[in-house]
Chains A and B, each alone.
Chain A
């Protein structure tokens, strides 16, 4: 579906669209306060970008080094070239350990691989234990944000959902009351789980360890009770050394939610005594992206979500309008590299304001990459007629000065007299939410000539 079509549904509810916009701007403001409280913020961003650039130019050897060191610590490292292989590996491990119930902490990679429906088809009960992620799981919908999966849901809707699922009081919408009900229900899930699965925020090549960040403590609870811990990670999560975490952990939570650090930043080095740790390294299109001269830097993303929180389009259209696992500016770069036809409208869900690039903690040039995607999508022939025809017309006019002058004259002298229905009709997509400006009496050339005449030569002071 086109982004604009999906977004139209979201903005049809004006009150909700504004509520969503405000909620995200609140987080963006918290991020600003946190960023400004660190004097070396820009140095941190530069350093993080350089560490990531180094990592991506040494990725194969760092992955090998990671595998060797993780194995030494007693973990088992698996490799998956795509989503299907990843899901098979997880299912194989669960079958081998006779796992009936799995608890998961937030992992966008497993969303990308559609792991939950796959495991459920095989009779495994999967519970997403991050509260936001659990909410969207219970509603049978994807997350709308990578850090705050349920940012689109109102507390009254959570109340209704919990009344139906957990038997909370009808009409109750008090967040502490609802969160307490979730705590009780999910604690039961933690106690009953046969295995825990987590995502990975960072994997350290030098030590063979992985780092998982949460605020709720759900990843730690999920993998500290059962004996089996499965960690799924994209190959781009690698960093060279543990000391680089000093840079990334200072940036991550400040950029994401405006916290000085997440409540828990857990470092897993090998399995716990008597347990097993399986780490799955997933490619699923990442090596292809690495090969792209234009878009390889999008692999540097640490998934903080700051680009979403600041994006005027994301804030007003909601995460679901993107139709991808990762929405917002970064998602609009990642998705077309998987399927440029399916996601051809995403690089246009952007005003090119550049705010995303300004807040990105690893300095990805997001808006430039979005512009580059537009070029590629046009070259591939995926631009819709309502964009391509006006562009062709404009190009024809701009290439012919006489036609340009003529068109300008028509616009100045005829358009102001045209009846509204002729200007604002279904053909004029641009005019749906916009009004034409007032037309000037004379063209720029006329105005310039007049000015030259009245002020003499060298009229530009």
Chain B
């Protein structure tokens, strides 16, 4: 018998009486001002949230960040934003984005309860950019802020297969004596722009 069949057989042999799935239709936590909650939680996990009226305002705000000003290599997936120094489309090997200092990428929506932003590789050829860049800025329409993770999963579909991740703040570790260090392997800073404009 194959291992598959013997494992499944062993499980079936010991399967006990079926229990039902619970309902997920509950009055889950919501907030009077989800954007305010998102901003507070994101700050508590080492990130920053900035609200802007228009996409064009973002470049001015980015210029206020020393890590943006001093970045030698910049990448962006949003036209007109982030002063990219090269075109991502021309890169074939993900290893070649190793030296990106600052990346400006699109996020789909934000979650108020935990400061997370859902990002995918739908418009991004090399998903590694989210994790390899030294500094990360995510851009989200401000109408896309949900209260909690249950609302978040209502928006998600995984049909056809695609990569997606919730990112909540910059990369971090506390593995040395529980001292929090920001910038473990991935981004050392993380800023989320909530924009009035749709894009």
17 A-B pairs (CB sep. < 8 Å): A53-B19, A59-B15, A60-B15, A79-B2, A79-B3, A135-B176, A148-B175, A153-B176, A154-B177, A180-B183, A216-B184, A217-B171, A220-B128, A224-B128, A235-B7, A269-B163, A288-B10
Which among B17, B24, B187 has the greatest number of chain A C-beta atoms within 10 A? B24
> Min CB distance, A121 to chain B, in Å?
22
Decide if A221 touches B128 in the complex (CB within 8 Å).
yes
The residue from B20, B98, B161, B172 contacting A215, defined by CB atoms under 8 A apart: B172
B198: Cβ under 8 A from any A Cβ: no
Decide if A54 touches B20 in the complex (CB within 8 Å).
yes
- Known pairs A176-B181, A215-B173, A216-B173; list 16 more (Cβ under 8 Å): A23-B178, A46-B22, A47-B24, A53-B19, A54-B21, A60-B11, A79-B7, A179-B183, A186-B185, A187-B185, A209-B161, A215-B184, A220-B128, A220-B130, A240-B21, A263-B171
User: Which stretch from A254-262, A318-326, A437-445 is at the chain B interface?
Assistant: A254-262
Contacts of A148 in B (CB 8 A): 174-175, 178
Contact digits for B7-19, partner A, Cβ 8 Å, 1 yes 0 no: 1101111111111
A247: Cβ under 8 A from any B Cβ: yes
> Min CB distance, A184 to chain B, in Å?
10
> Min CB distance, B39 to chain A, in Å?
13
- Of all chain B residues, which has the CB nearest A148? B175
Contacts of B80 in A (CB 8 A): none
Contacts of A287 in B (CB 8 A): 7, 10-11, 14
In the complex, which residues 80-138 of chain B have their Cβ closer than 8 Å to any Cβ of chain A?
94-95, 98, 111, 113-116, 121, 126-128, 130-132
Q: Assuming A179-B181, A216-B186, A247-B24, is B176 touching A158 (CB within 8 A)? A: yes
Contacts of A283 in B (CB 8 A): 3, 7, 10
A243: Cβ under 8 A from any B Cβ: yes
A329: Cβ under 8 A from any B Cβ: no
- Nearest 5 A-B pairs (CB), nearest first? A217-B186, A291-B14, A132-B175, A270-B161, A260-B114
Decide if B186 touches A221 in the complex (CB within 8 Å).
yes
Contacts of A209 in B (CB 8 A): 158, 161
> Min CB distance, B182 to chain A, in Å?
8
Decide if B156 touches A129 in the complex (CB within 8 Å).
no
Decide if A155 touches B45 in the complex (CB within 8 Å).
no
What is the interface of chain B, defined by CB distance below 8 A to chain A?
Answer: 2-4, 6-8, 10-22, 24, 26-29, 41, 44-45, 94-95, 98, 111, 113-116, 121, 126-128, 130-132, 148-150, 152-154, 156, 158-179, 181, 183-187
Decide if B177 touches A50 in the complex (CB within 8 Å).
no
The residue from B12, B28, B184 contacting A218, defined by CB atoms under 8 A apart: B184
In the complex, which residues 269-315 of chain A have their Cβ closer than 8 Å to any Cβ of chain B?
269-270, 272, 281, 283, 287-288, 290-291, 296
How many angstroms from the CA of A64 to the CA of B28 in the assembled complex? 32
Contacts of B187 in A (CB 8 A): 217
Q: Assuming A57-B17, A79-B3, A244-B24, is B94 touching A179 (CB within 8 A)? A: no
Q: Assuming A186-B185, A220-B130, is B168 touching A81 (CB within 8 A)? A: no
Q: Assuming A79-B4, A81-B3, A243-B154, is B126 touching A224 (CB within 8 A)? A: yes
- Of all chain A residues, which has the CB nearest B116? A261
The residue from B7, B16, B29, B114 contacting A261, defined by CB atoms under 8 A apart: B114
The residue from B24, B95, B159, B172 contacting A216, defined by CB atoms under 8 A apart: B172
Decide if B164 touches A264 in the complex (CB within 8 Å).
no
A150: Cβ under 8 A from any B Cβ: yes
Contacts of B167 in A (CB 8 A): 263-264
How many angstroms from the CA of A257 to the CA of B115 in the assembled complex? 16
Decide if A73 touches B131 in the complex (CB within 8 Å).
no
The residue from A183, A240, A267 contacting B164, defined by CB atoms under 8 A apart: A267
Contacts of B162 in A (CB 8 A): 269
How many angstroms from the CA of A148 to the CA of B2 in the assembled complex? 37
How many angstroms from the CA of A243 to the CA of B175 in the assembled complex? 31
- Of all chain A residues, which has the CB nearest B41? A260
> Min CB distance, A442 to chain B, in Å?
52
User: Which stretch from A35-43, A339-347, A453-461 is at the chain B interface?
Assistant: A35-43
Q: Assuming A57-B15, A249-B149, is B158 touching A269 (CB within 8 A)? A: yes
- Of all chain A residues, which has the CB nearest B162? A269
The residue from A40, A50, A187, A290 contacting B28, defined by CB atoms under 8 A apart: A40
Decide if B165 touches A225 in the complex (CB within 8 Å).
no
How many angstroms from the CA of A281 to the CA of B5 in the assembled complex? 12
How many angstroms from the CA of A20 to the CA of B121 in the assembled complex? 41
Contact digits for A184-214, partner B, Cβ 8 Å, 1 yes 0 no: 0011001100000000000010011100000
How many angstroms from the CA of A40 to the CA of B150 in the assembled complex? 13
A350: Cβ under 8 A from any B Cβ: no
